[in-house]
Amino acid sequence: MTVDLNSLVNNILAGDRYFLAKLLTLIENDHPQGLDALNLLYPHSGKAHLVGITGAPGSGKSTLVNRLAGYLRNNLLNPTQDGEQYPVTVAIVAVDPSSPFSGGAILGDRIRMRDLAGDPGIFIRSMASRGALGGLAKATSSAVEVLDAAGFSFVLIETVGAGQAEVEIVRTAHTTVVISAPGLGDDVQAIKAGILEIADILVVNKSDLPGADNTLRILQSAISMGYPATQVLPSEDQKGIGTPQWIPPILSVVATTGEGIPDLAEAINGHRQYLDTSGEKIRREHTYMRSRMEQLLGDQLVARFLNDYAGDKFEKALKLVLEREIEPRRAVELLIQDKLS
Ligand SMILES: Nc1nc2c(ncn2[C@@H]2O[C@H](COP(=O)(O)OP(=O)(O)OP(=O)(O)O)[C@@H](O)[C@H]2O)c(=O)[nH]1
Ligand SMILES: [Mg+2]
């Protein structure tokens, strides 16, 4: 596929969806032209609010993201640009790690297509993994940067909160919403997986189902353990705004009816305000970009080292380690110093 780079970029900046979709495909396929275009677009990014939505398979992420996108679109106006106010625009990135649980994702996508189709202010993209999850995380970060540069006010990133790669994807976000639901048996699991540690907002979805109260209680006690010295639940009207430390609010939602969605939108905005006023946004971006660059550098260095220099030697070292002749750390040292006999 050959596309003129400048027209690709200019069309995307002008709001063209066809070229936007085309670039996302280039990026997903790790096409070099995708990276070139991203490089040109990157200076236009940094304005969108990035919201990560994660939770166990079937907890209702897709349904909730669909509702939230519609709500934001219909109720929020962008800050004035030329004196006029415009409804916000929303991009949705659904990350499907092609897990055996992905059945629900298809259903979710169908719901979305019915509800949101035809609204030019909403753009939906599914990212499927074609191989390593690490690759998916990389492609997703880049896709989010493209959507940000393309001018969307919000980018909602939906991912199953199952493993390291998903946590990595969520770290791209400014605000992370972790979804639990009764009847999945995932309450304790979520806490164990450390997924609560990345939560800025906690949602108990499917609050219409029995057991929702129990899920709520489990989350409340988990949060109170994490924030012992502070009042656990911010008062209803505050939702954490103005507190020196952000305490993740816990919200009850019924995504299928939209109950609780306005509160969620308010909490997201509250967290956004908190990030801006506390300096936390700058700190987070700094930490995130540093670790992202270190990781990219690491990947490149390893690939180069193995490719240009020590592919065979690496295999030899690996064999020696497996035969218990050399300890792995020493083996790597010897490889780097080229002292492997
Ligand atoms: N009762 C009830 N059911 C819900 C609610 N929200 C979602 N569901 C249902 O739960 C099922 C899963 O919803 P999805 O939105 O596909 O969940 P998901 O977390 O995106 O699923 P995966 O993408 O497969 O991980 C669907 O049958 C939804 O209709 C809710 O608030 N109450
Ligand atoms: Mg889904």
Question: Burial, 117: exposed, middle or buried (Cβ in 10 Å; 0-12, 13-18, 19+)?
Answer: exposed
Predicted TM-score (pTM) of this structure: 0.85
The stretches of 117-163 forming alpha helices (DSSP H) are 133-149
End-to-end CA distance of the chain: 47
Q: What pLDDT, on the 0 to 100 scale, is given for residue 184?
A: 75
Q: Where residue 193 falls among pLDDT bands split at 50, 70, 90?
A: low
Residue with CA closest to ligand 1 atom 29: 256
Q: Closest by alpha carbon to 30, among 105, 137, 126?
A: 137
The alpha carbon of 104 and the centre of ligand 2 are apart by a number of angstroms equal to 6
Q: What is the DSSP letter of 87?
A: B
In this structure, the strands spanning 175-180 and 201-204 are: parallel
Q: Are 69 and 90 in contact, with CB atoms under 8 Å apart?
A: yes
Long-range residue pairs from 330-338, CB within 8 A, at least 24 positions apart, any chain: 335/310, 338/310, 338/313
The alpha carbon of 130 and the centre of ligand 1 are apart by a number of angstroms equal to 25
What does 226-290 look like in DSSP terms, one character per residue? Answer: HSTTS-SSPPTTTTTTT-SS----EEE-BTTTTBTHHHHHHHHHHHHHHHHHHSHHHHHHHHHHH
The alpha carbon of 255 and the centre of ligand 2 are apart by a number of angstroms equal to 12
Instruction: From the CA of 207, give the closest atom in ligand 1.
Output: 31
Q: Which residues line ligand 1 at a C-beta cut-off of 6 Å?
A: 57-63, 101-102, 104-105, 107-108, 160, 205-206, 208-209, 254-256
Mutational test site, ligand 1, from 62, 111, 115, 180, max ligand atoms within 8 Å of CB: 62
Instruction: From the CA of 205, give the closest atom in ligand 1.
Output: 31
Instruction: From the CA of 57, give the closest atom in ligand 1.
Output: 25
For the segment 320-329, what is each residue's pLDDT rounded down to a tens digit?
A: 999 999 999 9
The alpha carbon of 208 and the centre of ligand 2 are apart by a number of angstroms equal to 19
Q: Are 153 and 88 in contact, with CB atoms under 8 Å apart?
A: yes
Q: Closest by alpha carbon to 177, among 245, 251, 257?
A: 251
For the segment 52-105, what is each residue's pLDDT rounded down to a tens digit?
A: 998 888 889 999 999 999 999 999 888 666 777 888 999 999 887 554 444 444
- Edge-to-edge order in the sheet of strand 175-180: 122-128, 90-96, 154-160, 49-55, 175-180, 201-204, 250-252
Q: Which bound ligand lies closest to the C-alpha atom of 60?
A: 1
Query: Rounded mean pLDDT of 106-124?
Result: 67
Task: Write out the two tokens for 102.
Answer: 């992905």
Maximum Cα–Cα distance for the chain, whole Å? Answer: 73
Rounded-to-integer distance, Cα 279 and Cα 188, Å: 32
Q: Which residues contact 259 (CB under 8 A, 6 or more apart)?
A: 207, 208, 253
Instruction: From the CA of 63, give the closest atom in ligand 1.
Output: 15
The helix/strand/coil state of 97 is coil
The alpha carbon of 60 and the centre of ligand 2 are apart by a number of angstroms equal to 7
Q: What pLDDT, on the 0 to 100 scale, is given for residue 69?
A: 95
Residue with CA closest to ligand 1 atom 10: 60
Q: Closest by alpha carbon to 223, among 214, 212, 231, 211?
A: 231
Amino acid letter, 152:
F
Mutational test site, ligand 1, from 102, 156, 252, 256, max ligand atoms within 8 Å of CB: 256
For the segment 288-339, what is each residue's pLDDT rounded down to a tens digit?
A: 889 889 988 998 899 888 888 767 888 899 999 999 999 999 999 999 898 8
Instruction: From the CA of 94, give the closest atom in ligand 1.
Output: 23
Q: Which bound ligand lies closest to the C-alpha atom of 111?
A: 1
Residue with CA closest to ligand 1 atom 23: 105
The alpha carbon of 236 and the centre of ligand 2 are apart by a number of angstroms equal to 29
Query: Rounded mean pLDDT of 184-196?
Result: 61
